[in-house]
Amino acid sequence: MKNNIPVKQAVPYTHLYKVSRSDTLLEFLLKKMDLSRNSVKSLLASHKVLVNGNMVSQFDYPLAKDDEVKIAKTAQKAAVQPKLKKHVASPVKKMIIYEDEELLAFNKPAGLLSVESDKETECAYKMAADYLREKGAKSRPYILHRIDKETSGVLVFAKDIKLHSMMRMNWNSFVTLREYIAVVRGHMEEKSGTIVSYLKENQNNLIYVSRDRNGKKAITHYEVLEESKDYSLLRVKIDTGRKNQIRVQLADKGHPIVGDDKYSDGEGPLKRLGLHASALEFKHPVTKEIVSLRAPIPQSFRNLFKKTK
């Protein structure tokens, strides 16, 4: 599938560690690597340590759950600190749909990773980090959840590590709504319903529906909003946030999301995956009020059904 997001090759690395609980960078590496304190400090000083794709040399740099720490094969250049410019629009600022002292939310475009991968470094996390640094913020972004590269829509970061830890540990109790818009092939036999299944992951990292109840239970509600000759537009709400949940369950029902080259043939009229994270609602960790975030349905989704009227 084509997209307009530039692809930047990831940095070759020798070690990869995933953070399971809050820590500081130096102490985390001392626990993970069979090296002396001076040797670990040397790695940091020589610019060989990356956190979520960004070079970090600060010994007490805060780490949060789900951060990825890599040891690069060669020294990396420090990120250039952008000069502050007033009233200058940027792609990042256009993506922002919500911001306060504790949180930052994007309407992420399709084709952009939430966080870097082994093949690409350009990602929403890096954009959020650059944006906060440009503002002169003392904090960095912390990943609260992820959406697939091919999926567009609401993506939220925390700005405080303690709030991040609290929200990540209790994400399901904070979130009150997770809504998506999907374009699927064919017509649903029932125009609304609930799909309950158990998901497992194979050795190729593909998710599949299993009859084994030892799999992860996935609950998805849907309703048909529009139909054309060949496609249906669905509003989808999920009770569980399993990996690729919506894509797998709809494909298993014989109505794969258009443009899905992972769980179907990838064909479709949109030139992208027909899945959009349209709404996320959750309790604010400080004010306790409900934050309701919306990302407008892509016009290309709507156009597909306007043509039939």
Tokens 């919500």 appear where?
Answer: 98
Q: Within 13 Å of residue 93, how many CA atoms lie on the same side as its CB?
A: 8
Residues sharing a CB contact under 8 Å with residue 16, sequence separation 6 or more, in sequence order: 68, 69, 70
Say whether 148 is catalytic: yes
**DSSP letter at 244?**
T
CA distances to 72, 186, 205 from 14, in Å: 6, 46, 22
* Cα gap 133→122, rounded to integer Å: 16
Which contiguous run of DSSP H or E holds residue 218? strand 216-227
Task: Provide the strand spans (E) within 32-148.
Answer: 49-51, 54-55, 62-63, 68-72, 96-99, 103-108, 142-143
* Cα gap 45→144, rounded to integer Å: 29
Q: Which of 148, 212, 252, 260 is catalytic?
A: 148
In angstroms, what is the C-alpha Rg of the chain?
Answer: 21
* Cα gap 135→129, rounded to integer Å: 10
Starting at the earlier edge strand, list the strands of the sheet with 49-51: 13-18, 68-72, 49-51, 54-55
Classify strands 275-283 and 231-238 as parallel, antiparallel or unpaired. Answer: unpaired
Residues annotated catalytic, as ranges: 148
